[in-house]
Structures are given as C-alpha cells and as structure tokens.
C-alpha cells in the first residue's frame, strides 16, 4: 500500500484496507513524495495507525522533508541512504 505523505490516508486507502482484511492479506505500507511539502512524519504515522486500525513499525525514517529531504535513515541497518547515492 502506498500513502501520499502530503495527503495522508485517503478514501481509496481505507477501501484497500477493507479488502486486505476481507482476504486476510498482509501488507507493507510505503510513504511516497517525501521530497515535497508533507505533513510531520509522526502525525502521518499516527494517522495511519488510528484511521486504519493497524500497528506500524517503520523500517526507514526520512532525513529532512520537502526541499530539505536528503534521504532516509534505515533503522535496522543503522545507516543513511542519501539521494546522492542513487
């Protein structure tokens, strides 16, 4: 499942979550568009957990947001993945 970091949980996200529950399908959730003006990552995480009634365990965390976005920090590997490495 992909969630727009600027918009958060949308109607189609809720519908997709209903389908995954009906089919008992596990999901991974990705936040995209971190290089644009987005909401606070903690607020987004709270919204996903509260709106979709799921627990979230981030694997990566953004380094900066919007114009200041530099890449992500991988929480399990303890390393930075910067945009300049692409």
- Of the chain, the percentage scoring pLDDT greater than 90 comes to 77
> What pLDDT does 85 receive?
55
- Domain containing residue 60: CATH number: 3.40.50.300
CA distance readout (Å), 10 to 4, 15, 16, 39, 72: 9, 9, 10, 14, 24
When pLDDT is averaged across residues 23-47 and rounded to a whole number, the result is 92
Full residue range of the structural domain in which residue 27 is found: 2-85
Are 33 and 4 spatial neighbours (Cβ–Cβ below 8 Å)?
yes
> What pLDDT does 83 receive?
79
Say which residue the tokens 């990552």 belong to. Answer: 41
- Please tell me the total count of domains within the chain: 1
When pLDDT is averaged across residues 27-33 and rounded to a whole number, the result is 92
């Amino acid at each position: 499942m992909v969630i727009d970091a600027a918009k958060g949980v949308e109607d189609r996200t809720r519908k997709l979550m209903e389908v995954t529950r009906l089919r008992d399908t596990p999901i991974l959730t990705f936040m995209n568009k971190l290089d644009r003006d987005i909401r606070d990552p903690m607020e987004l995480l709270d919204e996903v957990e509260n709106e979709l009634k799921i627990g979230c365990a981030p694997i990566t965390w953004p380094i900066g947001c919007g114009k200041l976005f530099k890449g992500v920090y991988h929480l399990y590997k303890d390393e930075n993945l910067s945009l300049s490495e692409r």
